Amino acid sequence: MTNSISSVTLDEVNGMSQEEFVQSLGGIFEHSPWVAERAYRHIPFRSIEQLHQVLLETARSSEQSQIKRLLRSHPDLATRMEVTPLSAAEQQGAGLDLLTAEEFNILTDLNTTYMEKFQFPFILAVRGKNKDDIINAITERLNHSEQEEWMQALIEIGKITKFRLQDLIVQDSTKS
DSSP assignment of 13-28 equals HHT--HHHHHHHHTTS
pLDDT digit string, tens, across residues 78-90: 654 445 556 556 6
Decide if 52 is catalytic. Answer: no
Q: Which structural domains are found in the chain, ordered by start?
A: 8-170 (1.10.3330.10)
Among candidate residues 31, 42, 52, 74, the one labeled active-site is: 74
Residue from 127, 137, 134, 133 nearest 166 by CA: 127
Q: Global pTM?
A: 0.84
Q: How confident is the model at residue 4 (pLDDT cuts 50, 70, 90)?
A: very low
